[in-house]
Chain A
Amino acid sequence: MPEDLDPVALKHRELEQIAMVALRAARLMMESGGRAQVVRNCGAMVAVGLGAETVALRGGYASMEITVTSGINTSTRMIAVGRLGVNHRLDQAIRQLASRVAKGGMTIGETSEELSRLARTTPRHPAWFVAIAVGLACTAFGRLLGLDWPAFLPVLVAGGVGQYTRHTLLAHGTNPFLVAALIAFLSATIGGFGARLAGSAMVDLAMMASILLLVPGVPATNAQADIMDGYPTLGSAQAVSVIMVMVFAATGVLFAQALLGLRLRP
């Protein structure tokens, strides 16, 4: 029997497509900052909604695998996961799509097209707006830590410049850990130098507040949530990446301290 008429081969090909579409949805959700449990549920909802009978999905830090079955047919596929970030609007859009697919009535092609459209068209704030917002967040962090008013503006500028530069470097594909060190050096230098010029008595704290944009707060809490949800491997990998980012960021601050002639101290 020719392969294009063989019902087993056809079912297998369809299962393969279901697996890949479910993996794409799960990957987008993971890259948008979703917890492992939610990512797994998303993939399962899409796969079952498209016709799979059972689904097993494993989410790793850099790749994901899925096995879908229908009757005697089974398909296992893997997909690479890109840099993990946080994109709330895309996360919400994928959740809504997964709910729609799970209700039935959407084809594999429609789901795939919708995923591509969401990835392409979900709006993002302009980089300048994000830079100002992050600068404000850094200086607000500083005030929460007890930063004095003269250092307010320097930290705002340092955080904003740091965020804009980080956005540019990451868009060019620079290694995120290297970016953490570079931005920590840049922001701490601007924040520390500016605070000193402004007459602040808290130059050390101004330097630290200037780099708080680098603290991976969502991965840190996701790591714990993933371990609590029963995904210790992914949670541990996230925790290690958080520590690595902070080691590189601290290295950047260290060089900034040396540049400004400050003594190395915690």
Chain B
Amino acid sequence: MILDLLPHLLHQAAFGAIAAVGFGVLFNFGLRALPWCAASGALTLAVRTLGQDAGWSLEAASFAAAFVTSCAVRLLHVRLGTASNAMALVGCIPMVPGSFFGQAMLGLFALTAPHLENAEPTIVLTMQYMLRVMFTVGAIGAGLAIPTHLLRTPDF
């Protein structure tokens, strides 16, 4: 069964790594830190994909992925130093539901159209997108924050 999942898992991990590296460059991480960004993004997306494949909701899988990544960078604190928090965060950026957020906004615009057709499905879809954004961002934030507060590592 794991072999069936493997291509999808590798695909998600690889593109999670690429997205995290891209944002690492945007956030001005040094070149030597970029492989760590890639590892963080790959781990995050791998855990989220495993969670979703196990039937978890996007929010639950995102929480687990952020939590695992945040714990993992804490284990590597000696190697990463004070950059560990940032490394976990950049790994979680590919999970931020920006596409849902944009679609929710477009849904709100659609609801104010002068001749609205099929209002109910649009309302339901827009609300779903909006709630998914709120819960997923909340899940990522909580997943990152809980290990930070429990396993205190120095910020300086």
Contacts and interface: CB of A to CB of B under 8 A. Distances in A.
Partners in one complex: yes
Interface of A: 33, 37-38, 41-42, 45, 86-92, 95, 98-99, 102, 123-125, 129-130, 133-138, 140-141, 143-145, 163, 205, 208-209, 211-215, 217-218, 220-221, 224-225, 228, 246-247, 249-251, 253-254, 257, 264-266
Interface in B89-146: 89, 92-94, 96, 98-99, 101-107, 109-110, 113, 122, 125-126, 129, 137-138, 140-142, 144-145
A137 B23 contact: yes
Contacts of B144: 221, 225
Interface string B44-75: 01000000000000000000000000000000
B122 A140 contact: no
A45 B156 contact: yes
> Dominant SS at the A interface?
helix
Contacts of A38: 155
B82 to A, nearest CB: 5
Contacts of B15: 140-141, 143-144
A92 B83 contact: yes
Contacts of A249: 102, 105
Nearest to B96: A217
Interface residues of B, number: 53
Contact of B28 (A90, A247, A264): A90
A144 B106 contact: no
Interface of B: 11-12, 15-16, 18-30, 33, 45, 82-83, 86, 89, 92-94, 96, 98-99, 101-107, 109-110, 113, 122, 125-126, 129, 137-138, 140-142, 144-145, 149, 155-156
A91 B156 CA distance: 10
